[in-house]
Amino acid sequence: MAITSELKQGISSQFSTGSLQRGISRQYTTLQASLDPRISNPRFSFGRQSSLDPNTRCPDRDDNLKVPKNLDSTMQLLFMACRGDVRGVQKLLDEGVHVNSIDLDGRTALHIAACEGHVGVVKLLLTRKVNIDARDRWGSTPAADAHHYGNMEVHNILRDGGAKVPERKRAPRSAEKPREVPDYELNPLEIQVRKSDGILRGNYQVAKWNGTKVSVKILDKESYSDPESLKAFKYELEMLMKARHPNLVQFIGAVTQKIPMMIVAEYHPKGDLGTYIKKKGRLFPSKALRFALDIARGINYFHECKPDPIIHCDLKPRNILLDGGGQLKVSGFGLIQLSKVSSDKVRLAQPEAHSGLQSLYVAPEVFKNEVFDRSADAFSFGLILYEVFEGVQPFHPKSPEEAARMICLEGRRPPFKVKSKGYPPELRELIVECWDEKPMMRPTSSEIIVRLNKIVANCSKQGWWKASFRLPWYVCSFGNLPYNRESHF
């Protein structure tokens, strides 16, 4: 009786505000409106939500919920189903509320009752010819919702009633409870990947997320049964989540509760530093130093992480991206799994799985599969800085494999071919220290930043920039000489 009086009070309030109309055409109007969520139907936010909702919530159960006022007929039906009030649901259906009425998310009373496990309401709705396979906006059915929340009695009733119960693939990292769904979880339906691009293992590809271009890495089918691949996916995801710096590629989110699993990061249309150098050649010192500071700051962020530093281990021009504003961002961190030896020393966890690390920019100790520390990134930084100022890869035109052997096994270093006036005075000294054979002699990333800043300051004070640039950008405005884009910094 209390429920009935509360409902009458809510309905009376709707009459007074004009939100509820009765008449000869009431049933037809209600049917049309209730089946079209675009006609201002609100979202039913009480109780458990759809099992496929990326923002799945599971609030504490409250059996003493009171009927809110000013509810329309559809919301009243869903609320009664959520409470498990069989008489309340029956009364509303007898008054003409359509059994398949839906909210903004396309959820019916059967969805709600299945989520909450109310057997009596489910049986009643089935006798009223409810759509047993109705799908909400995310594609979930009542049977799927019942199974997700462990309401197996309801699930079996729906299955025996003819509901289609497709096998749902469970992602290896999916949460057991809705509350455990991570904050970074994205709705896979919002990510559009062109089918023609295919799925490339270990590579990022361009996609669209809510209309914005992003980089997406998709875990291929074979990896779901491979513990090592799943471990690598988890490690890369954890590293990306820690990347909160202007000179690091930013993590957007991930799909871990559904298959296929994905990692989504920001997209940089201007490509990587290696491609940029091949196109532009040797960069002017001002831009080269600015690029060097961008890289050093990004690496320093990870090196200063507490309690233990994070080592990139695969720093190379291809893993350094250029954003739309001309700023460099380091990427590729988290791709190499490391095994901790001490608080500041590590080694490769799976040397055989990282044959690509025998690359041109890797430190000798990493190349030889020895124990190493964050100074390995300083070695790679020195070779990258050399390439930025020289305009070519170390030991060009030799192959990267041959150059790597010369550097790591023979202890040779690439020669400086650009005349001394092409470098700021202290820069060669910094490069040589970075690629020192002994790791302890290499500068830390924080020391590199300090020294680069001093080099920039000294060059400005001594007028070195003016002496280096025979073509200042402002000369072009007078039309005396052709414009050179690289000289504008």
The pLDDT profile of the chain, 489 residues, written as one tens digit per residue, is 444 454 444 434 433 333 333 333 343 344 444 444 444 456 777 788 887 776 544 444 444 555 555 567 888 898 899 889 999 999 999 999 999 988 878 889 999 999 999 999 999 999 999 999 998 877 789 998 888 888 889 999 999 988 887 655 555 555 555 556 677 888 888 888 865 443 444 577 889 988 889 999 888 777 777 788 888 888 888 888 888 899 999 999 999 888 888 999 999 888 999 999 999 998 888 889 999 999 999 999 999 987 778 899 989 999 999 988 889 999 988 788 888 888 889 998 877 665 555 578 999 999 999 999 999 999 999 999 999 999 999 999 999 999 999 999 999 999 998 876 667 778 999 999 999 999 999 999 999 999 999 998 887 776 655 544 433 333 333 333 333 434 333
- Whole-number pLDDT of residue 436: 96
Q: Where are the alpha helices (DSSP H) in 281-425?
A: 285-303, 364-367, 375-390, 400-408
256 and 182 Cβ atoms separated by less than 8 Å: yes
- Whole-number pLDDT of residue 379: 97
Which of the residues 314, 323, 373, 377 is marked catalytic?
A: 314
Contacts of 255 (CB under 8 A, 6+ apart): 171, 185, 186, 188, 191, 261, 262, 264
- 3-class secondary-structure state, position 252: strand
Long-range contacts, 333-339 (Cβ 8 Å, 24+): 333/239, 333/240, 333/243, 333/248, 333/302, 334/235, 334/236, 334/237, 334/238, 334/239, 334/240, 335/202, 335/232, 335/236, 336/312, 337/231, 337/232, 337/235, 338/311, 338/313
Among candidates 262, 185, 190, 276, which has minimal Cα distance to 219? 262
Among candidates 55, 50, 63, which has minimal Cα distance to 179? 55
For 422-453, give one letter per residue: b (16+ CB within 10 A) or e: bbbeebbebbebbbbeebeebbbbeebbebbe
Among candidates 253, 234, 261, which has minimal Cα distance to 169? 261
Helix (H) or strand (E) holding 340: strand 338-340
- 3-class secondary-structure state, position 438: coil
Instruction: Enumerate domains of the chain plus CATH numbers.
Output: 2-160 (1.25.40.20), 178-266 (3.30.200.20), 273-478 (1.10.510.10)
- Whole-number pLDDT of residue 170: 55
- 3-class secondary-structure state, position 359: coil
- Whole-number pLDDT of residue 65: 52
362 and 314 Cβ atoms separated by less than 8 Å: yes
Q: Is the dihedral of CA 22, 23, 28, 32 positive or negative?
A: negative
Q: Is 145 a catalytic residue?
A: no
Contacts of 115 (CB under 8 A, 6+ apart): 47, 48, 49, 50, 51, 145, 146, 149, 151
Environment class of 371 (CB within 10 Å of its CB; exposed 0-12, middle 13-18, buried 19+): middle
Q: Where are the alpha helices (DSSP H) in 424-463?
A: 427-434, 445-461
Q: Is the dihedral of CA 261, 265, 269, 270 positive or negative?
A: negative
Among candidates 285, 318, 325, 272, which has minimal Cα distance to 452? 285
- Whole-number pLDDT of residue 462: 67
Strands (E), 96-143: none
* Distance between CA atoms of residues 150 and 93, nearest Å: 28
* Distance between CA atoms of residues 267 and 242, nearest Å: 18
Phi, psi of 259 (to 5 degrees): -110, 135
- Whole-number pLDDT of residue 342: 85
- Whole-number pLDDT of residue 457: 87
- For the whole prediction, is pTM greater than 0.75? no
